[in-house]
Structure 1
Amino acid sequence: MRPSRAAQTTAMTTDKATAINPDPRISMGHDALDAQSAAPSADPLPATQIHQMLQQQWGDALLQRLHVIGRIAANLGTPAYLVGGCVRDFLQNHPVPDIDLAIEGDVRAVAEACSAELSGVQCTYHAHFGTAILQYPDGFQLDLARCRIEHYPAPAALPEVQPAAIQTDLIRRDFTINAMAISLDPEKFGDFLDPYGGRADLQRRLLRVLHPHSFLDDPTRILRGLRFAVRFQLQLEANTRGLLEEALTQDIFARLSGARLWRELKYLLELSDLPAALEELGAWQLWPLLRPTPLEVESLLAKIRRGQQEIRWLHCHFPDEKLCDTAVLLTILWRDIPWAEAEKRLHYWPVADGRYILNDLHRLSKIPAALAAASHPSAVAQLWESLSLPGILALLAEYPESATITESGRYYLLKQRGLTSPLNGKDLQAMGLAPGPQLGTVLRRLHDARLDGAIKDKETARQWLIRQGILPSTQP
């Protein structure tokens, strides 16, 4: 299971304190109380209704598995809960790709007990994170994590973690919509925990943080929140927007490592509805994270849409081709900015194919005119070869109205890119050519001749070499 993506900064630090003061609005201080009192309420969901909804949406087989895990955990004195994103998606009747369980106690003991009792279930425990994975024979997977509290020693720092109870675990999370849980305990299976109004916020399409220091503690929550806003059509709650603006005035993203920032930006660029996400990026005043604010946003978004179409086209025609999709999108996003701006970001972020992006940005502006001036197919192919695959797709996305560029690029990808010379280096040496740089030059000329249609097989290639004076006319 992934480490938690949320946090909290208040004084509660032990399970004992939680047991004495189980109400998180008290134990977590006034910040949590303010978050709850500002949140709307929703009609209660009784356990019987939750049980029925689980049965209807997830089916009897999965429901039975949850009952069994709840029983095993309860027998060990470590109650189990459905928690976080799977509860959020369940309430919206959305498909739930990952099911996360929070355990009030020893995760390893619960996971190993499940593995011992359930036929074919494999347990993988990650001691560093206090998490475990249960893998069922049919491929189904459950992620388990210990309920915990997180304290941030400094803004944007990684948190310090201690065990806690479920109520405390919920307040450490990022947004109210992710701070809900469902009990799997046999005595109260289906009890719905929603202390911060997450269900009501979902109904009202609001995105609300849980405490005033949320964005300062973990700036990556801002980008996660943007993705949630796009995915679920949410609006920032008024106080949350104010907290966002306050965090930006403190230049909070500058405190993140390049790896942490790039991970969140990569998730953003991988959204299917990326144009909508980029529109939100502007509304949230976050363009400077990716690039200087564009002057013509709509034009840029149109190019992004075409870039996504080009990516789909390539995956359709070359399903086994490895492509860094984000490199295509970054190349499009950076076409009109100073080269140094792109270089600065690529030196900071661990972007795959980063050096190719810089090469493409340097070359792309010259390609259209050079294509128009090229007189032979080999010259055209050499121009396309000077670009990486993401750079080619970015150029096609930029000039959709140019039949010359579109047809040329498609022809190169579908036909020219796969052409090879009929003769290789060993063939040429067998014909008497010495190894060395000259051999590479001859191979390049043979490749060009194949592109231009001058040769098609080994015999026509041999005759061409004789006509070019590379081989003697007496060559057998």
Structure 2
Amino acid sequence: MDVIATHVNADFDALGSMIAAKRLYPDAVLVFPGGQERGLRDFLLHSTLYAYGMKKISDIELSEVTRLILVDVRSAARIGKFADIVHNPNLEIHIYDHHPLDEHTIRGQLEFIQEVGATTTIITQLFIKRGIVPTADEATMMMLGLYEDTGHLLFSGTTPEDFQSAAFLLRNGANLNTVADFLVREMTSEQVDLLSELLKSCEKIVVNGVEITLATATVNDYVGDISSLVHKLQDIENLNVLIVAVRMEDQIFMVGRSRVPEMHVGELFQEFGGGGHAFAASATVRDMPLAQLLDRMERLIRQHVRSHFQASDLMSSPVKVLTSNSTVGAARELMTRFSFNAIPIVDDLQHVVGIITRQVVEKAAHHKLLKMNVSEMMNTDFQVVPSTASLLELQQGIMEHNQRCVPVVDSGTLVGVITRTDLLRYMLGDRQLSTAATKDLPGRSGMQLKRKNLRQLISTHLPGSVKEILAEFGAVADQLGMQAYLVGGFVRDLLLRQQNLDVDIVVEGDGIAFAEAFAKTTTCRVRTHEKFGTAVIVFPDGFKIDIASARLEYYDKPAALPQVEHASIRHDLYRRDFTINTLTISLNPDHFGQMLDFFGGQRDLKDKAIRVLHNLSFIEDPTRLFRAVRFEQRLGFKIGKQTERLMRSAVQLRSVKQISGLRILHELKQILDESRVVAALGRLDQFDLLTFIDAKLHFDQSTASLFVAAERASSWFDLLYTGEAYRRWLLYLFCLFDNLSNKGAAKVSRWLGMSPADHTLVLEQLPKAKMLLKRLRHRSSKLPHPQNSEIYFWFDGLAIEIILYLMACSDQENLRRWLSLYTTELRKEKIILNGDDLITLGFKPGRSFQEIFIALLKARLNQEIQTRDDEIGFVKANFQV
């Protein structure tokens, strides 16, 4: 039996989701596992939901449930008696929910989890994709759920998908009058009295700089729709965080609302058996005095409010400095190389004695004073702050003293620097977060630093062995006084819930020393690369992890290989290609799982956009042009408009011509190994990037068709399960070279720096294959049934990539049949007799041996002989001693 169920104390979103799920599971029974909210109960009394056969959980034999469809819930603590069967191994569970994980989270065989305003939205999106059209009544009930959970599409957690779903439901008959009747009601006298009491009771506490308002009340009779009263109270008083507790008889009903990221009310309310989102949550507590609850609430709030940032959170370290006897020219060079707008100046004891800005340096350059010492021009009236400085102290340093940067100094030692841009990004980000990111969605503002804890995601999506290794890395980093971070594609794919165990770790410190220290804690070996300050840790099972020191790069000239210097994690991330690859996760125990987003990577993951970090990105490293296309196609993203403009500008400047063919080959190999290779090459052609490999290289419809055929040939060979390794990228490269002359292909191969063996394939076997193809096409029409031995010697010696290329090019059934026969059977044939056997038969070693072996192989291929005795008889009959 299939059952569609939701959470106890069901609301309109629960009902709308259940009604929608009924269309996906038409034979399922709708069951409320517990009570309903007052508004929903009123609706049920006036509706025709009896037609849906709604049942109570007491009407269901739990042992007969074979599939449980949970909507608007995935916590075992909120589904009543259904929690008794969720661990039944024979039970199939499907989940549709928009709530965050908690300690009671259920895992389903099928899950549709999305951070949107309402669960109804998730199922509505499925309707849109699958072409399912709801009835007017269904659309109305679904709209009730969507409007309730999004606050009439006004809550901060509302997403574009919610608006899209509302429009779809409206087009399909949703009755907004009915929605208004049940969701937009005048307050009753009891509600007015309760709101008044809540207003009078408001008390404010400040925890870690966050103001939190607590409001309480006790009423003798039940008052419904408390959540709407909380919403009104929050708007009336303009409160960032509001927590309301109302006692009614033996129960305390709690509702929480938050507009700031520091207070996640969903996590707080989980402590009371409730739950919800970062911005909205509720809970019901029984048999506890209100005073006791408030006392516990205040203690828990202090544990759950995230601390405000301090200087150590925002600063960049280590700091690039100049000595007081450095020249203005040196300052100008350093500013240009690293895009600095201000640089601290230190004396011989490394104490900060001044700050010099780009404006001053440029004016000095204009007056031809580049050889003058910076000590003559630096600003000596400046403020420094300790690493524990508050936001207010930073504001004073930057705004009141008009400083472009504030040195962070502990015990007289310069430990970091915070720029005006750093502070502005944080402050703007804070305002954005107050309206957008309280639901832990990627931010919508610019490049402010954002933090998000992914400990739960790491716990649920990574193998246990990997989690243990990452925790050990954090412990070793702490012991060494270093900071260790997960970086790169691993973090990106973790957020996308895609499998990726290609682990890269960056440490702020000596990466090699870190790797060697880690090796002492477990069984593994370390391969070091002193030149680059990197190491590879190899575990006994072959699992590898790359370790690198945080570093920054600068380019002496466009397309040159970068110069490298040690730096902070922020600088290390800034040198990377795209924003989505700049996300990082801390591994140190105190911050384990905390993700840092300096450059808007979360935003671009949400927008499914490929964006570079700065405008000279493609000029400095033109290989990023190929990488942009590769990531766009692999992830199903879209290159941002500004990034696309910068790509076309770099192509017009012919930046690619300044990099070696070997570097292009490296990028090309990765593109040709992607699953969406046809689309990727089409995009390369749109950007005119293939012409930099060869002017005659293009990707038209004919070439695309050849690639599709090559993909089929490759898949066919994979299904043979021969265990024989081959390189798919090389097969596709032959297809790309198809419209080049033999000389042209050889020239490109040489310029790309292909290995000698691969270059030989292009130089010798590829031309031979093309000639063979022409000959066999002619042969196929005249003699469609050659002997097996002929087929064998046509293709003998050709690399498997060449064979698959021929199969892709074969437009005749006979050709494909011959290639298939050779690949699956003929190429495996071997003769039994060897040279010693021929000597035993009386033959003298010499050229005749080769002639005999070939004759034997032909006879075996043509099935004229099979056994060893057959071969001996064949030799005696056809050759004289």
After TM superposition, the score normalised by the length of structure 1 is 0.83
Q: Percent identity?
A: 29
Q: What is the deviation of 1:404?
A: 0.9
Q: 1:360 aligns with which of 745, 762, 766?
A: 766
Written as runs of structure 1 = structure 2, the 5 A alignment for 1:230-269 is 230-269=633-672
State how far apart, in whole Å, the 2-side matches of 1:420 and 1:373 are.
30
Does 2:844 match 1:408?
A: no
CA RMSD of aligned residues (A): 3.4
Is structure 2 residue 562 aligned with structure 1 residue 152? no
Do the aligned residues in 1 keep the contact of 2:453 with 2:594 (CA within 8 Å)? no
Residue 452 of structure 1 corresponds to which residue in structure 2? 862
Residue 257 of structure 1: how far off its partner (Å):
2.3
CA shift digits 1:305-352 (9 cap, x unpaired): 221232233233253323233332222222232222211111123145
1:323 equivalent in alignment to 2:734:
no
Matched residue, 2:747:
344
Counterparts of 1:20-31 in structure 2, within 5 Å, are: 20-23=416-419
The aligned residue for residue 436 of structure 1 is: 846
Shift of 1:103: 1.0
Letter matched to residue 414 of structure 1: T
State the aligned residue count.
Answer: 451
Taking a change above 3 Å as real, the CA distance of residues 258 and 435 of structure 1, as seen in their structure-2 partners, is farther
Are positions 1:115 and 2:544 aligned together? no
Contact 1:104 1:165 in 2 (8 A): yes
Within 1, Cα distance between the matches of 2:826 and 2:510? 60
Report the secondary structure of 2:739's partner residue.
coil
**Corresponding residue number in structure 2 for 1:207:** 610
- The residue aligned with 2:207 is none
Among 335, 338, 341, the residue aligned to 1:11: 338
- Answer yes or no: is 1:385 the counterpart of 2:799: no
- Name 1:288's counterpart in structure 2: 691
- Greater share of strand: 2
Q: Does residue 1:106 correspond to 2:526, yes or no?
A: no
SS in 2 for 1:455: coil
Conserved 8 A contact 1:331-1:361: no
Deviation at 1:218, TM superposition (A): 1.5
Higher RCO, 1 vs 2 (CA within 8 Å, ≥6 residues apart): 1
> Distance between the aligned counterparts of 1:106 and 1:295, measured in 2?
46
- The reply to whether residue 420 of structure 1 matches residue 794 of structure 2 is no
The 1:335/1:67 distance shift into structure 2, 3 A limit, reads closer
Distance 1:340 1:22, change over 3 A: farther
Q: Show structure 1 runs of 5+ residues with no match.
A: 1-7, 28-38
- Match in the other structure for 2:810: 399
Task: Give 1:151-190 correspondences, 5 Å limit.
Answer: 151-190=554-593
| Partner Cα distance (2:486, 2:445) in 1 | 21
Q: Is the 8 A contact 2:452 2:595 kept in 1?
A: no
Pair 1:198 & 2:628 matched: no
1:46–1:68 distance in 2 versus 1, CA, 3 Å: farther
Partner of 2:498 in structure 1?
94
- Pair 316,385 (structure 1): closer, same or farther in 2 beyond 3 Å: same
Question: Which residue pairs with 2:306 in the alignment?
Answer: none
Q: After the TM superposition, which of the residue ranges 410-419 and 368-377 deviates more from structure 2?
A: 368-377
Assess, with a 3 A threshold, how the Cα gap between structure 1 residues 366 and 204 changes in structure 2: closer, same or farther: same
Name the SS for the 2:486 alignment partner: strand
Judged with a 3 Å threshold, the aligned counterparts in structure 2 of structure 1 residues 141 and 447 are, in CA distance, closer, same or farther, namely closer
Preserved contact between residue 634 and residue 675 of structure 2 (Cα < 8 Å):
no
Distance 1:347 1:114, change over 3 A: closer
Q: Tell me the SS of whatever aligns to 1:10.
A: helix
Deviation at 1:59, TM superposition (A): 6.7
Residue 300 (str. 1) matches residue 709 (str. 2) = no
Give structure 2 stretches of 5+ with no counterpart: 1-334, 345-349, 351-406, 408-413, 424-442
- SS at 2:738 equivalent: coil
Give the match for residue 51 of structure 1.
Answer: 455
Do the aligned residues in 2 keep the contact of 1:357 with 1:391 (CA within 8 Å)?
Answer: no
More off after superposition, 447-456 vs 169-178 = 447-456
Match of residue 532, structure 2, among 125, 129, 141? 129
Match of 1:21, SS state, is strand
Inter-partner Cα distance in structure 1 for 2:734 and 2:725: 17
Name the counterpart of 2:136. none
Flag the 1:367–1:153 CA change in 2: closer, same or farther, 3 A: farther
What are the Cα deviations for residues 137-193 of structure 1, in whole angstroms up to 9, with x where unaligned? 676554321111111122222111110011211111111111222333444444432
What SS does structure 2 have at the residue aligned with 1:227? Answer: helix
* Partner Cα separation in structure 2 for residue 409 and residue 10 of structure 1: 57
Kept in 2, the 8 Å contact 1:327–1:357? The answer is no
Structure-2 separation of matches of 1:95 and 1:342: 37
